[in-house]
Amino acid sequence: MSEYTEQAEKFLKSANLVFTARLVGSDCPQFCTDKEKGVDLDKVDSFPRKTHIHGKHYLCFLHRADKTLASAISFDYWNSYADEEFNFVRTHAGDMSYQTLDRVLGRKGYNDGALGVLPLKHKARTVQPYDLLACLTKSDPGAFEQFCSEYGYDTDSRKAESVYHAVQQEWTKLARFFSPAELEQLQEIS
């Protein structure tokens, strides 16, 4: 077990939480510029992608085992492009030559063995508790101008405003669900 996995599991146990994730599909998050193009992540010609750089969509849940406080919270989560590429190769490697994989993925590596054993022998990569916990908003984003200054957004941008509101909503949701002590522990997960 990695240090990161252990950190997440320790937090879940101390907060008496159970993590579950349900695959939603291949849809795009709101920030993806390919959202309107309907790019299918499961098609062979969908790799490599220049702007469509996320993986599958999951709905992740944190449930309180004892239901003493708010009993559940959910988040949309898109796994990484690297995980999706791994799963793609794992699924299609038996059907393709190494040269075809190199061509489809737009890089070298499978053909010359640089990446080691093909991932067929490994489980598909899905979202894990650490993946979700590490990317949650861990503190109040403050005022819009402060947020823009800290993260390099232009205060005269509708996109920045949209991002700010999403971060603010996530923070409000977390602050309602977790106790102050749990929020402190969550801040240590990085």
More reliable by pLDDT, 18 or 96: 18
- Does one domain contain both 25 and 83? yes
- Does one domain contain both 62 and 91? yes
69 contacts 183 by C-beta, under 8 angstroms = no
Task: Give pLDDT tens digits for 67-97.
Answer: 766 689 999 999 888 887 777 777 766 666 6
Looking at the predicted structure, is the pLDDT value of residue 50 above 60? no
Q: Residue 146: what pLDDT?
A: 95
Q: Return the residue matching tokens 């309107």.
A: 36
Q: Which two tokens stand for residue 10?
A: 């320790």
Nearest of 18, 132, 115 to residue 66 by alpha carbon: 18
| CA contacts within 13 A on the Cβ side of 116 | 5
- Does one domain contain both 127 and 153? no
- Does one domain contain both 48 and 66? yes
- Does one domain contain both 157 and 104? no
Structural domain range at position 30: 3-131
Contacts of 172 (CB under 8 A, 6+ apart): none
Average of per-residue pLDDT values in the chain: 81
Supply the angle between the helices 98-105 and 81-92 in degrees, to the nearest 10: 150
Nearest of 64, 61, 65 to residue 75 by alpha carbon: 61
- Does one domain contain both 171 and 94? no
Looking at 62-157, list the stretches that DSSP marks H as alpha helix, in order from N- to C-terminal side.
81-92, 98-105, 129-135, 144-151
Q: Residue 66: what pLDDT?
A: 80
- Does one domain contain both 143 and 53? no
Q: Which of 131, 154, 172 is the last residue of a domain?
A: 131
Q: Which of 131, 160, 178 is the last residue of a domain?
A: 131
Nearest of 8, 15, 6, 13 to residue 179 by alpha carbon: 15
- Does one domain contain both 143 and 66? no
Looking at the predicted structure, is the pLDDT value of residue 155 above 60? yes
- Does one domain contain both 159 and 97? no
Backbone angles phi, psi at 81, to 5 degrees: -60, -40
52 contacts 32 by C-beta, under 8 angstroms = yes
Total domains, the chain: 2
Residue 129, preceding peptide bond in cis (omega within 30° of 0)? no
- Does one domain contain both 158 and 103? no
